[in-house]
Amino acid sequence: MTTVICEMTDRADRDIELIDRYLTGDIDAFTELVTAHEDRVFAICLRMLSSREAALDATQDTFLTVFRKADRYKAQAAFSTWLYRVTVNTCYDLLRREKRRGADRIPESYDPIDPQATDPFDAVDVRPDIESALAQLSPEFRAAVVLVDLQGMSLEQAGDTLEVPTGTVKSRLFRARKQLAQSLGNLRPPSEHPTGDNGE
Amino acid sequence: MMNDKDRDLIAALAEGRLSGTIAEDALARIETDPELAAEYADQVAALAFLQSGQPPQMTATERSTLRMNLTEQLGLVPETTSMLTSAKRGARWWQPVFGLAAAAVVVTAIVILPGTLTGDSADTAPVEVAVSEFDAAGEEDLQTETTQSAAGMADAAESPAAESQNLDEDMDIAVYETESVELGDLLERARGADGRDALEGQLKGFAFRSIIALDRAEVDRCLNALADDIPEGVVETFVIGAEVLDEGTAEVLDQVTIVHVGFDFGDGIDDALSFEIGSCSLVEHAPQG
């Protein structure tokens, strides 16, 4: 555990140093920052947007925003917190844009439920993947799940990233998981329903 | 009726944050209340589902696209460089930065060449690789490796194949910048890799800045020309890196490309050599491990 904390601190310190160097025109600092964070940014975007193409666009927009506004970065918060905040906000913007267009993006792997199916488990060929399941959540709930349950952030880090109190993160997580479980349960035989024996 | 305290207890238990008697007490409390038990089951089911997936990763192509677009849009590299279509170029942005009359560009890419040294010259699809500016500290070493003018590259630029900028989908490419272009260092990083993914993983951490095109047929032609320098028993050949060297003045730059290839004898990459594309002359042969 100590090692992990040290690594995180090292990373945070390194990021601050790299931003400073980038602002003085050091191109290597730029490449190191991108290399260090691109996978995680892309993972967040993909989970938020359910489409690789959209995720790549969002990842690009995120880094463009961060580097173009690098001079405004204050080292009061970790660079990664700021970066992931921009990431989530970029995804929110894209989702809002999609919504305004009136056509919610259909996840690449989404398999629509057959309304004619009598057995809910027959309604789809396969169990939904994570992107499809997450796509059913509101963006705010989705972000909480992505940051904490999928990216392993602490509640506090997620709160800082989303700019909401920790209690709000807890609440969103709890409700998001409940929705996920219920949507999963609707696609399973009764015996496998997660709330089958106890809940209803 | 569930309250916030119950919710936190259920979440903590489902996330495995409780242990010992605290966890046992929490579970006992939950089991006595059907509503809490149902909520707990939902949390456990959702978490199990979320943890069942693999973390998404960018493909090599997505990674190179991202980095190329970023560098271009941020103005870090003024234009995508095609070494095959632009053998000579004018002044470049980084020259005043480094205050140098000549500079080096380093390319590191991973390309699997199907087959070994058979060199199907009919396949002239360009291989895209990434370019990065090499820092001034490494330039002297790079330039001493270079002995050739860009005549070969100029010839290549005139070939019909060189005009194509389409990515060859059959040639999977991962692209990373290297801090060093010493062949021995590249070999050490690449050693043991027995496939594109493995090589990509081992070279991860390198970065890159833009994309150029390498002519696959040119690479194959040189490998054939260097057959005497290539050891017996190679089962697969990888392009693990390349260097594009700009030489000359700010007004007239010549380019020379040195390609590094690694050889897999069945147990992963265990040998490497460098050659100059165009002239196909051997630059360096790293010793086997």
Q: What stretch(es) of chain A map to CATH 1.10.10.10?
A: 111-187
Residue B112's φ and ψ, nearest 5 degrees, are -90, 125
> Looking at residue A58, what is its pLDDT?
95
Same domain, B65 and B39: no
Gyration radius of chain A over CA positions: 19
Task: Number of A to B CB contacts under 8 A, please give it.
Answer: 127
State ipTM: 0.77
- What is the H or E stretch that residue B246 is in? strand B236-248
Same domain, B78 and B157: yes
CB atoms within 10 A of CB A180: 28
B50, B68, B83 - which closes a domain: B50
Q: How far is the C-alpha of B15 from the C-alpha of A143, rounded, in Å?
A: 18
- The number of distinct structural domains making up chain B is 2
In a domain, B67, yes or no: yes
What CATH number was assigned to the domain covering residues A1-105? 1.10.1740.10
Same domain, B46 and B68: no
In a domain, B55, yes or no: no
In a domain, B101, yes or no: yes
Between chains, do A38 and B56 touch, taking CB under 8 Å as contact?
Answer: no
pLDDT digit string (tens) for B118-161? 333 333 344 444 333 332 223 333 222 222 222 232 333 333 22
In a domain, B175, yes or no: yes
CB contact, 8 Å: B8 with chain A?
A: yes
The residues that bridge with B238 in the sheet, in sequence order, are B112, B262
- Give percent above pLDDT 90 in chain B: 9
Q: How far is A174 from chain B (nearest CA, A)?
A: 7
pLDDT digit string (tens) for B150-176? 223 233 333 322 222 333 333 333 333
Q: How far is A98 from chain B (nearest CA, A)?
A: 22
In a domain, B10, yes or no: yes
Q: How far is the C-alpha of B120 from the C-alpha of B224, rounded, in Å?
A: 10
Closest residue in A to B63 (Cα–Cα): A38
For the stretch A128-131, contacts whose Cβ atoms lie closer than 8 Å and that sit 24 or more positions apart, written own/partner, are A128/A183, A128/A184, A128/A187, A129/B53, A130/A47, A130/B49, A130/B50, A130/B52, A130/B53, A131/A46, A131/A47, A131/A50, A131/A107
Please, is A53 exposed, middle or buried when counting C-beta atoms within 10 Å of its C-beta (0-12, 13-18, 19+)? Answer: exposed
User: Which residues 223-282 in chain B show a CB within 8 A of chain A?
Assistant: none
One pLDDT digit (tens) per residue for chain A, 200 residues: 333 344 456 778 889 899 989 988 888 888 899 999 999 999 999 999 989 999 999 999 999 999 998 888 877 778 899 999 999 999 999 998 887 776 544 444 444 444 444 444 333 334 467 888 899 999 999 999 999 999 999 999 999 999 999 999 999 999 999 999 988 875 554 444 444 333 33
Q: Which candidate, A12, A97, A86, places its Cα nearest to that of A45?
A: A86
Domain carrying residue B36: 4-50
Closest residue in A to B74 (Cα–Cα): A64
In CATH terms, the fold of domain A111-187 is Arc Repressor Mutant, subunit A (1.10.10)
* B191 close to B269: Cβ distance less than 8 angstroms: yes
pTM score, whole prediction: 0.53
- The pair of three-digit structure tokens given for residue A139, joined into one six-digit string: 């963006």
For residue A147, give the DSSP letter. Answer: I
B176 three-state secondary structure: coil
